[in-house]
């Protein structure tokens, strides 16, 4: 594969994002690494093979118009993005009325606004070239409202619906879309959330999440739930369990244990 293909990965400094960076590098792509943590990004960059070109952008995507800053930096570098991986995201846990106004706003900008804006900015070039890929990372939390993580589950539902709509809209243009809904994964997500209640079921590895998603992409699927089969079963229970019963069960599972 030509080294002229570039993949841009957000949240590239650790976890699933870092695994995408390493996998695309193995597959012969150059990579643009985006995260707010410059030192961690540079460590990831140092782990790449010498044949992989890279561009590091330490930009906080939880700030409004940050997607435009990323796009302009890439344009200035003369790079054409073939694959966009919108992986960056975070969640918070606890009663909504006690949550932080600023943190809630940052979460919605990062999980929804920046993801949609990056897609909007890089998509025209893909359509013009008649080739490209957009991978958006949602969550199994997108399949049902999650008490105590209301904004997170709602924002990931946006990602899932948004991506599947674009998969259909651009199905004949040469541009592929894939929604990825992981369950719990061994990343620092749960340390940031600071709630063991948010991790339901066996945790998957970032590497397996990436592998399963790229396998799904090769089959031109619109969406995939990654991880063990239990993730698929739990995500689809909402289809057969009455809404109010499902919400009561989810609330009991997610309620603070302290």
pLDDT value of residue 258 = 64
Measured CA to CA, the distance from residue 40 to residue 121 in angstroms comes to: 26
Measured CA to CA, the distance from residue 10 to residue 165 in angstroms comes to: 21
Please give the helix or strand (H or E) that residue 84 lies within, else none: strand 81-86
Domains of the chain: 6-254 (3.40.50.720)
DSSP reduced 3-state for 7: strand
Q: pTM for this structure?
A: 0.91
**pLDDT per residue of the chain (258 residues) written in tens, 0 to 9:** 344 899 999 999 999 999 999 999 999 999 999 999 999 999 999 999 889 999 999 999 999 999 999 999 999 999 999 999 999 999 999 999 999 999 999 999 999 999 999 999 999 999 999 999 999 999 999 999 999 999 999 999 999 999 999 999 999 999 999 999 999 988 665 455 555 655 555 678 999 999 999 999 999 999 999 998 888 888 887 788 878 888 888 888 888 876
What is the β-pairing status of strands 175-181 and 223-225?
A: parallel
pLDDT value of residue 2 = 43
* Catalytic residue, candidates 143, 148, 152, 170: 152
Measured CA to CA, the distance from residue 57 to residue 47 in angstroms comes to: 16
Burial of 90 from C-beta contacts in 10 A (0-12 / 13-18 / 19+): middle
Q: How far is CA 100 from the centre of its chain?
A: 23
Name the β-bridge partners of 177.
134
pLDDT value of residue 243 = 80
152 is catalytic: yes
Q: How far is CA 157 from the centre of its chain?
A: 12
Question: What DSSP line would sit under 14-73, residue for residue?
Answer: SHHHHHHHHHHHHTT-EEEEEES-HHHHHHHHHTS-TT--EEEEE--TTSTTHHHHHHHH
């Amino acid at each position: 594969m030509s080294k002229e293909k570039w993949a841009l990965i957000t949240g590239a400094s650790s976890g699933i994002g870092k695994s995408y960076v390493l996998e695309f590098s193995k597959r012969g792509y150059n990579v643009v690494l985006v995260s707010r943590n410059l030192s961690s990004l540079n460590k990831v960059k140092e782990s790449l093979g010498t044949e992989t070109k890279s561009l590091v952008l330490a930009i906080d995507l939880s700030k409004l118009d940050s997607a435009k800053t990323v796009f302009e930096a890439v344009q200035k570098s003369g790079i054409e993005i073939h694959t966009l991986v919108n992986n960056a995201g975070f969640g918070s846990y606890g009663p909504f009325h006690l949550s932080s106004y600023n943190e809630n706003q940052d979460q919605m900008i990062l999980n929804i606004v920046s993801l949609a804006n990056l897609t909007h900015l890089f998509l025209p070039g893909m359509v013009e070239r008649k080739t490209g890929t957009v991978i958006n990372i949602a969550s199994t939390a997108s399949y049902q409202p999650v008490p105590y993580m209301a904004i997170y589950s709602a924002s990931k539902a946006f990602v899932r619906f948004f991506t599947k709509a674009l998969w259909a809209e651009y199905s004949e243009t040469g541009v592929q879309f894939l929604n990825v809904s992981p369950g719990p994964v061994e990343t620092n997500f749960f340390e940031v959330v600071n709630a063991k209640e948010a991790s339901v079921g066996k945790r998957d590895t970032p590497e397996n999440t990436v592998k399963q998603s790229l396998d799904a992409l090769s089959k031109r699927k619109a969406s995939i739930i990654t991880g063990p089969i239990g993730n698929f079963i739990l995500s689809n229970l909402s289809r057969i369990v009455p809404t109010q019963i499902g919400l009561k069960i989810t609330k009991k599972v997610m309620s603070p244990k302290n």
